[in-house]
Homo-oligomer: A and B are copies of this chain.
């Protein structure tokens, strides 16, 4: 019998998919990854076994996720369309890594998932899977005509569940969908699809009103992030509400909470400008923008992401130090920084002393830089006589 590893969530969709795959004659191993979401794994496991899964595997990938995906993302400074810290995009390849490990352990030929045909997640899961195992086959029921025709809406799923003794949660479904992990929670769909309507306040689960925070020291990446999530959340850090461009070419609206990583991102960025040479910073910025797109589009496991990651890592060798941030009612305020590897030279920059810099040097610097401008404006006829043309004929302030 052909064996499938199903990325299982315990919810209505993947429970129906599980049953449907069994109907189709597959043996199904359900897989769940603990990426830090708030989830009753025991209940999900019981449910899957009851439906007919031959095995339910839950793997704890939190520490790996923080160390090998979140930390590098902060170092690489990846941020999508200038605002989104890529919490879901980073989790997908990490989950796929553990899922493909399960594929190998159980010697399967297929994987399956409940992602729909319009989103980014299907792409991120499958590209990662193909990269990790070019021979793997994917069953994506929401793109299989037979499945889609059978389940045209939520009611069809509910009826199928009822007919097949699949337990359905008594709680009413939230009017949005949610993806949570230790880095962030994202909210989209449902009532959020109208970008002219603010997200409701009871949506947020990770960020709260300010309280007192403990004064602790942490060493493990996982513990550092957990701590930052806690105090960041308490100070309301890291909420964004954006419309973003999906890889498939649609625009979609999402609301995100990323408290701990928002703090790390701001602190790292500050330290980086402090430590790095200006021109390396420029190149890093270019590469980082490309990397954000690779990650968002699902190309974490790809030749280009591997290559650019190496280049970005190379840039970080001298980025070390201590940054002081204030967290206050949603703000991450960098107020001070120190570093032994910074190129900042207080003595040299001081306005009060001519220091080691020849004070006349800038004259030549400006003169040389102006050659090109003078030539251009000479050649194009902009001279003293037409300054007026550029100006508004400024009004003179009346004074005695």
Contacts and interface: CB of A to CB of B under 8 A. Distances in A.
A373 B104 contact: no
A132 B364 contact: no
Interface string A282-315: 1101110110001000010111100110110011
Contacts of A252: 349
Contact of A248 (B98, B307, B368): B368
A30 to B, nearest CB: 12
A144 interface: yes
Nearest to A130: B370
Nearest to A32: B397
Given A362-B143, A393-B101, A278 B336 contact: no
Contacts of A8: none
B127 A373 contact: yes
B373 A301 contact: yes
Nearest to A379: B343
B369 A123 contact: yes
B134 A383 contact: yes
A390 B328 contact: no
Contact of A278 (B189, B372, B385, B400): B372
A199 interface: yes
A335 B198 contact: yes
A197 B101 CA distance: 42
Given A249-B371, A329-B329, A97 B391 contact: yes
A157 to B, nearest CB: 12
A395 interface: yes
Interface string A337-375: 110011111101111101101111111111111111111
Interface stretch (A15-23, A161-169, A214-222, A269-277): A269-277
A24 interface: no
A269 B243 CA distance: 11
Given A195-B336, A249-B368, A277 B376 contact: yes
A118 B366 CA distance: 12
Contact of A273 (B152, B245, B344, B360): B245
A384 B135 contact: yes
Contacts of A307: 277, 280, 283, 314-315
Interface in A175-233: 177, 189-190, 193-199
11 contacts: A97-B390, A103-B384, A118-B359, A133-B387, A135-B383, A198-B336, A249-B372, A285-B289, A301-B373, A345-B375, A358-B364
Given A101-B391, A343-B379, 9 more contacts: A58-B399, A100-B387, A148-B359, A279-B304, A280-B303, A283-B287, A299-B373, A345-B375, A357-B371
